[in-house]
Structure 1
């Protein structure tokens, strides 16, 4: 992987961004990595329309990790309140997971939260059954707040509740 310069997504990036996220989170391709949800969820992770809406929202930014002609990662940062930002959709191409790109995306997201939104804290949600992923974030300074949130599906699936993690920036 060459040196990657992160940049904010634009509407023109949706066509490459959407399949990257689906490959990393769902289906057989996701199983090439270790951070997938493919054994828990079988629907689409997001839609092109939803991504276009996120990109258009001035209270959010999706940072992209382009490598040559390929998009290999992304992360979303959103204003979540006074001094608080939300981190979501941290995505790394499954075959590149464990390459250090996730750590670099996380650091870029934290810096962006401070610079763009004046954040002093970052929060995120992780499915409570994802112990390895929660441990990965804990090694990077994120701690459980004790709060849980329901997983946004209808009908509700309590076995997929989110835990809230937070880090001071």
Structure 2
């Protein structure tokens, strides 16, 4: 098996990133893994312009995981200020989920948030309907904060809701 390399995304990676993220979250292809949102949302998860904006912002980055020339995973990291980092858009090729790459990318995100932004804690937002995913994050040391965030209904850039009760719960992990 080819070794996994983790590196920052570059503009040339945007087409591969877009395809990976969409395959991990939306449509029938996403059902090959366990992180699908296909029962909650249709439409897109992101688009190339959004990804380009992330890469152009010095307070954000996308870490990518490569097996040889194949993009197999990614995660967005962001500085939220006051010692707080954020990660999201954790995407693993659906047929490779469950093999430890997600955990490896979360650890890389934690290290990068600490090194680049001085983060002492990291927050994430998760749909409460994603109980298996929440349990996975809890096993990684995340705790529910009690805070919630609204889902951006009416903005198709974030997907087309299949239900009217979508929102996010906020989870937090203290960094060493």
Q: Which TM class, normalised by the smaller chain length?
A: over 0.9
Given that 2:8 and 2:62 are in contact with CA atoms closer than 8 Å, whether structure 1 keeps it comes out as: yes
SS in 1 for 2:5: coil
TM-score, normalised via structure 1 length: 0.97
Cα RMSD of the aligned pairs, angstroms, is 1.3
CA distance in 1, matches of 2:123, 2:93: 23
Instruction: Give ranges in structure 1 of 5+ residues lacking alignment.
Output: none
* Equivalent residue runs for 1:114-125 within 5 Å: 114-125=114-125
SS in 2 for 1:159: coil
Instruction: Give ranges in structure 2 of 5+ residues lacking alignment.
Output: 156-160
Offset at residue 153 of structure 1 (A): 2.2
SS in 2 for 1:167: strand
SS in 2 for 1:166: strand
Structure number with higher relative contact order (C-alpha < 8 Å, ≥ 6 residues apart): 2
The structure 1 segments of at least 4 consecutive aligned residues displaced by more than 3 Å after TM superposition are 155-158
- CA offsets per residue over residues 16-36 of structure 1, 9 Å max, x none? 100000000000000000011
The one of 163, 172, 176 aligned to 1:166: 172
Given that 1:151 and 1:158 are in contact with CA atoms closer than 8 Å, whether structure 2 keeps it comes out as: no
